[in-house]
Structure 1
Amino acid sequence: MAPGPLPARRGVLATTMAIGVIPLLVLLPLVAARWDPLISFDLSVARVLYDAVSPSPALAHGLELWTEAFGTWAMRIVSLLAALWLLIRRQFSTAVWAGATVFLANLFGLIIKVGVDRPRPEFTDPIATGVGPSFPSGHALMAVTGMAILLFAVLPLLRGGWRTFAWVVAVGIAASTAFSRPLLGVHWTTDIVAGISLGVFTVALTLLLWTFLPPIARRWDRPIPAPATKA
């Protein structure tokens, strides 16, 4: 495998892909069949979260600002800007990976949403509103996908503790954005789990496929500098 800025350990990527998709594969038939225990679980959690957030307009407003700042369209734009930035830096194959990842994530999410067509939670006095089918959560899916693209775009520029910091920030933003959705009453909890699962699967899948690119596909990529070593 040619060296590059992206993870290239095929065994790790294949394992991540296989484990990451399990929650989605478990939830998909249960949600599609409207399995009563799952529906009851989602309803009970939704009511608890609604009762916790609805009395606090300031909390609800803060959650709305956060979920839009790192929401579906914001992450799509961030992903495409990251791909453009990679092109400018002559990381052509990585830019193609970024574009392919955001495209596939949206395609997979759309296919499942339309196929399952799950209604969103409904409240007499809703905190916020959502559009389209509920399963899986597009915000959760794109939060994971977008932050992964941004993370792997900048990791080659970072060293030491900054790399760990970047991982923590990326995971924190993705997770908090995803779970802001049921707090706002616009998604069921299982929608979020499925969206995260699909995001992890898609990122791992495209990273794995990237490792199979022939050397000619990275012929014009700018070399990635080796990490600095202490004397």
Structure 2
Amino acid sequence: MHLTNSTSLVTVRQRRLLREASLALGCAALFVLLAMLVTGHWSPLHEFDQDWISEFHGYARDHRAWTAAVQTLSDIGAPVTMRVLLGIAAAWLLLIGARVLAGWVAAQALVGWGAQWALKLAFDRPRPVFPDPVSHADGPAFPSGHAMASAITCAALVGLLWYRVDRRGRTAACTVSAVAMLSIGWTRTALGVHWPSDVVAGWLAAGVVVGVVTAAIELWRPGALARDVRRVNWRTRPRVQRVIVPSVRTARADEPSEDGEFEDPWTDRPRPGRS
């Protein structure tokens, strides 16, 4: 039985690692394809970017109140705001003892920031230029920093919530995150400071960062992220549940862990599964 549980644990970890590697590789392949189309000035993509930006700029120029509201939303979703949110999450995880999970969150912010500027400088794509701009942004355009930072932050926060909520909560979290990502990315094109392809590239680059960071930590500390998730779940439970030890122990003894094993929540050690 012990060998069976060990084999099951290895299989679950392998699947988890394969999932993260697939996310990183898939997003990287799409990013490279998009980058080739952008740098090669592929006519259909170039025309799409130009038409989209021109339509939005004309509307923004004629509707100043609407433009001010879009600018406010864009400022709220700025990369610095996203990284502050990740910093707060990492600090809280560190305080409750989930060190590996805190490192995962911090690494998402730091690697994302570094990758964003490395890619911008590597491609050095000019931003849209208008004789009467409604907004201004510095630095190269490709990929969008707003889109990339918001996608990384939303993915990390959803990951932290995933095992704390039920199916309905997960659906709500994913929906809110998707709306936030799409809205922030849309503001950058609506204000005329990014091409649509910049925003898509930002989302793809974020997928690469999330997948690479998660896979790297899984290789470095196998199973540590899952253990920290269980630690967070236990540390943040209502205090009244902690004092009713016997009943909780009995109720949870037969529940499988995220790794597919039957686990003792007090020791983090696998328990034999039921035959």
TM-score by length of 1: 0.86
Aligned mate of 2:205, from 198, 209, 212: 198
- The structure with the larger Rg is 2
Say whether 1:57 aligns with 2:64.
Answer: yes
Aligned residue for 1:29? 36
Q: Which amino acid aligns with 1:14?
A: A
**Residue 231 of structure 2 is aligned with which of 201, 223, 229?**
223
Structure 2 residue aligned with 1:157: 164
Moved more, 206-215 or 57-66: 206-215
User: How far off its partner does 1:161 sit?
Assistant: 1.2
* Code of the aligned partner of 1:191: D
Q: 2:177 matched to 1:170? A: yes
One-letter code aligned to 2:104 = W
Q: Deviations over 1:82-136 (max 9, x none)?
A: 1111111221111111111111111111111111111111112112111110000
Aligned to 1:88: 95
- Helix, strand or coil at the partner of 1:186: coil
CA distance in 1, matches of 2:177, 2:30: 21
Q: Contact 1:82–1:153 (CA<8 Å) still a contact in 2?
A: no
- Tell me by how many angstroms 1:55 deviates: 1.7
Aligned-residue Cα RMSD (Å) equals 2.6
Query: Compared with structure 1, are the counterparts of its residues 146 and 216 closer, same or farther at alpha carbon in structure 2 (3 Å cutoff)?
Result: closer
Per-residue CA deviation, residues 15-55 of structure 1 (Å, 9 max, x unaligned), is: 22222223311122333344454333321221122123322
Name the stretch that deviates more: 136-145 or 98-107: 98-107
Secondary structure at the counterpart of residue 54 of structure 1: helix
> Comparing both chains, which one has the higher relative contact order based on Cα–Cα distances under 8 Å and sequence gaps of 6 or more?
1
Which of 2, 7, 22 pairs up with 1:15? 22
Q: 1:157 to 1:180 in 2, by over 3 A?
A: same
Deviations 1:131-159 (A, max 9, x none): 11000000000010111122222333323
2: CA distance, partners of 1:216 / 1:46: 46
Q: For 2:58 and 2:39, how far apart are their aligned partners in 1?
A: 27
1:143 aligns to what?
A: 150
**Percentage of pairs with the same residue:** 27
Match of 1:106 among 100, 110, 113: 113
Asked if the contact 1:53–1:184 (Cα under 8 Å) also holds between the matched residues in 2, the reply is: yes
Q: 1:129 aligns with which of 130, 136, 140?
A: 136
Q: In structure 2, what is the equivalent of residue 187 of structure 1?
A: 194
Residue 47 of structure 1 is aligned with which of 54, 67, 70? 54
In 2: Cα distance, 1:200 partner to 1:80 partner: 19
Of 133-142 and 116-125, deviating more is 116-125
Cα displacement (A) at 1:217: 5.8
Distance 1:216 1:156, change over 3 A: closer
C-alpha contact 1:23 1:193 (8 A) present in aligned 2: no
> Counterparts of 2:167 and 2:47 in 1: how far apart (Å)?
46
Q: Contact between 2:218 and 2:224, CA under 8 Å: does it hold in 1?
A: no
Answer whether contact 1:22 1:197 (CA < 8 A) is retained: no
Residues 82 and 149, structure 1, Cα contact 8 Å, conserved in 2: no
Aligned residues: 224
